[in-house]
Chain A
Amino acid sequence: MLESRAISKYFLNKRALEDVTLRIEPGRIYALLGPNGSGKTTWMKIAASLTKPSAGEMLFDGDPVGICSRRSVAYMSTEPYFYSWMTIRDVGRYYEDFFEDFSMELFRELLGKMELSEELKVKNLSSGMMAKLKIAVTIARRARVYLLDEPLNGIDLIARDRIMETIVGSLEEGVSLVLSSHLVEEIETVVDTAVFIRGGKIVEICDTENLRSEHGQSLADRYREIMQ
């Protein structure tokens, strides 16, 4: 469904991505694993059509990503990006205005689970609340592909379980989820396929259960091995 063909991205002083080829299949959960600056965010932004690749193609349903794919691809960045004059309710309404697949009902339900009031102003949110809001508003979209960049960042330990539960529980059939995370152990049990990326290049792609049954390794073990 979402296919990255030999994607490269160069900035003035660095090569963020080099020849990255990857297919995101429907109904699977992917983890994008790698150290800071390895290119995870850049790849996701290209997939979300926020950034243009220097070379290669990013295709969604066979067509280059763009206006059309934005309708079905939901991206959640690591940094906060909402307008500071908005309240949480405004954020919901904004998404509702622009995304056909946004469910206000689900959004309110998620806000309830995360204990966020609609009246709160974006500029007054703590980093933990902001992190939860970003997830709520992204998951409330019934998208076909979710690209979540470090969704557990800034969220306290207890809430993390609930968040993972919420994310996995909200997935419909045939939907793809790509997570990037430093917290390998926290997402291990949920991930189908792990994509290890370093220095802008894909180092390895593996099926997590195969890794366990054939090599007796956890994702965390494999990560340490590769990234050493």
Chain B
Amino acid sequence: MLTLFKYEVRKTLSLKIAVIVLTFVMEAIFLIGFLSGKGTNFQNDGSYVGFLMAGTIGLMFCGLLGPQLWALQSIQLLYRELNSKQSYMLFMTPNSSYSILGAKFLESMLSAVAGGLFFIALAAVDVLLLVVNTAGIPGEAYRMLRLELASEGLTANAALSAALGILVWWISVIAAAFFSVVLQAAIMNGKRFGALISFAFFVAVSVLWGYLKGFVLPHGNGLSGLLLFIGFDVVIVIALYLSAGWIMDRKLSV
């Protein structure tokens, strides 16, 4: 499966690199604004403000849209591969459907995790830079920021749980999309409106998922509740992976 994974990365590399490069460009703009504004102690005028704002908006754009584009690309890649002759490249190799699908799951998930970490780290660094320079004393500023955030309920624990929750939700969306594409390809390989049909399956799966999750909701609050939520999602992701793999193995003809 490692070899399959290597090729999945290669197939999706150019978009990832494009987003990263764009992010660095935005970061550069942000830093230019930051550095030129630093000397003036950030009075609310001067051209540096434009740079800071443009950079910030650009970074948010990249951070929010980037991983979404990567996920979309992975899904679209699976769709294209299963519904065209390019499927031969995968299915003529001596690999099980579970490996083939697993490599794709791995690629999307690692991208989501790595991307998430990357943007969060970048954001943290940038925020820290701003905070430290506005308030003057680094340690003091940091403590103030933490207090400020905590008063809004944003403790480290909460942030971590939220991040985990978002990650798992992200992976769930990808899992549901993969499953839908595999189902569509097994039922109506290469026919017209395939994309529409797979989207329809995706909606159906998501709705069903939400419905089932509703039964889990009343059980447990706070941290344990959150863990239950996440646990449920993890189980469903695994179920979707195994089902998609089974369909691919037994029912898919390319």
| B93 and A50 contact, CB distance less than 8 A | no
The 8 A CB mask of B230-254 against A (1 = contact, 0 = none) is 0000000000000000000011111
Asked if A79 CB lies within 8 Å of chain B CBs, one says: yes
Asked if B134 CB lies within 8 Å of chain A CBs, one says: no
User: Within the complex, which residue of B7, B86, B95 is in contact with A81, where a contact is CB–CB below 8 Å?
Assistant: B86
A83 contacts which chain B residues (CB < 8 A)? 11, 86, 89
CB distance from A76 to the nearest CB of B (A): 10
Size bracket of the B interface: 20 to 34
- In the bound complex, CA of A79 to CA of B7 (Å): 22
| B85 and A70 contact, CB distance less than 8 A | no
Pick from A24-32, A92-100, A187-195 the stretch touching chain B.
Answer: A92-100
| A97 and B3 contact, CB distance less than 8 A | yes
Supposing A52-B251, A94-B7 touch, asked if A82 and B89 sit within 8 A by C-beta, the answer is: yes
Asked if A227 CB lies within 8 Å of chain B CBs, one says: no
- In the bound complex, CA of A98 to CA of B94 (Å): 7
| A68 and B94 contact, CB distance less than 8 A | yes
B94 contacts which chain A residues (CB < 8 A)? 67-68, 70-71, 98-99
B95 contacts which chain A residues (CB < 8 A)? 67, 98
Residue on A nearest B4 in the bound complex, by CB: A98
**Per DSSP, are chain B's interface residues mostly helix, strand or loop, or mixed?**
loop
B250 contacts which chain A residues (CB < 8 A)? 52
CB distance from A47 to the nearest CB of B (A): 12
**Per DSSP, are chain A's interface residues mostly helix, strand or loop, or mixed?**
loop
User: In chain B, residues 195-254, which have Cβ atoms closer than 8 Å to a Cβ of chain A?
Assistant: 250-254
User: In chain A, residues 38-71, which have Cβ atoms closer than 8 Å to a Cβ of chain B?
Assistant: 45, 48-52, 67-68, 70-71
The 8 A CB mask of A91-115 against B (1 = contact, 0 = none) is 0001001110000000000000000
Residue on B nearest A69 in the bound complex, by CB: B94
B7 contacts which chain A residues (CB < 8 A)? 94, 97
| A51 and B253 contact, CB distance less than 8 A | yes
CB distance from B37 to the nearest CB of A (A): 43
Supposing A77-B85, A81-B88, A94-B7 touch, asked if A52 and B93 sit within 8 A by C-beta, the answer is: no
Asked if B91 CB lies within 8 Å of chain A CBs, one says: yes
CB distance from B182 to the nearest CB of A (A): 14
Asked if B92 CB lies within 8 Å of chain A CBs, one says: yes
A94 contacts which chain B residues (CB < 8 A)? 7, 89
25 inter-chain pairs at a CB distance below 8 angstroms, sorted by A residue, are: A45-B253, A45-B254, A48-B92, A49-B91, A50-B91, A50-B254, A52-B250, A52-B252, A67-B95, A68-B94, A70-B94, A77-B88, A80-B85, A83-B11, A83-B89, A85-B11, A94-B7, A97-B3, A97-B6, A97-B7, A98-B3, A98-B93, A98-B95, A99-B93, A99-B94
